[in-house]
Structure 1
Amino acid sequence: MSNAQWLQIDATTYSIDGLLDRDTVPILWPTLSQWSPSEQSVEVSLEQIKRVDSAGMVMLIHLIEHAKKQNCHIMLSFVPKQLSTLFQLSNVDELIAGHVKNK
């Protein structure tokens, strides 16, 4: 198992690396729920995600809501096809559309 990691690249860019699934989300979420963004807009790169499931998708939605409450807009970049499919199957693709950076 490869735990997911939350990495800060610079002031406005973050990355989630590894597996983002039901096994790793409970380990990662306590860190993310305490995150206090200092910028009004940040990019979260998902380029290094190896695998994502519905638990990972829900965690990302919660992360977006957590940031909104702190007046920060998150843009997800390099969204894996697997995650895009989950967004569509879960009927949240319209909700998340303003948070996905097109390639």
Structure 2
Amino acid sequence: MSTAQASVSRTEDSVIAFKGSLTRNSVPTLWKTRGQWLGDELVSVDVSQVEVIDTAGVAFLLEVMKATQGTNAPLKCIGASEQLKQIASVSGVESLLSLS
């Protein structure tokens, strides 16, 4: 089985950018390291460089957003692929993710 490649970075303007795969294989590692990249003042999540996403990836994005509740504004998910939009739609969570 191949290892899913995923990376995360945080920009100075409080955007978390994910790259690679957000799948059941990569999400656990990303979640374990959330203390390094998830913090106060988060305004959006950039998924424009996510090549593959599955339902675990969508659940992961929801958890990221849940972890930032209570901050100054609702978290936005920017650069959503058609795959992400379709999974969110079928799962009934597209309104929760603020996809654009």
Question: So what's the TM-score if we normalise by structure 1?
Answer: 0.81
Identity %: 23
SS state at 2:56 partner: helix
RMSD of aligned Cα (Å):
1.6
Contact 2:43–2:75 (CA<8 Å) still a contact in 1? yes
Specify every segment of 5 or more residues in structure 1 that has no aligned partner in the other structure, as ranges. Answer: none
Distance of 1:27 and 1:82 partners within structure 2? 22
Deviates more, 1:5-14 or 1:79-88: 5-14
**1:64 correspondence with 2:65:** yes
Aligned to 1:36: 39
Specify the code of the residue in structure 1 equivalent to 2:69.
Answer: K
CA drift of 1:2 comes to 4.2
Aligned to 2:76: 75
Contact 2:4–2:25 (CA<8 Å) still a contact in 1? no
Specify every segment of 5 or more residues in structure 2 that has no aligned partner in the other structure, as ranges. Answer: none
Aligned to 1:25: 27
Question: How many residue pairs were aligned?
Answer: 95
Distance of 2:4 and 2:19 partners within structure 1? 9
Distance of 1:92 and 1:58 partners within structure 2? 9
CA 95–43 in structure 1, closer or farther in 2 if over 3 Å, else same: closer
Question: So what's the TM-score if we normalise by structure 2?
Answer: 0.84
1:68-96 CA deviation, whole Å, 9 max, x = no partner? Answer: 14x25321100011010011111112333
**1:85 correspondence with 2:86:** yes
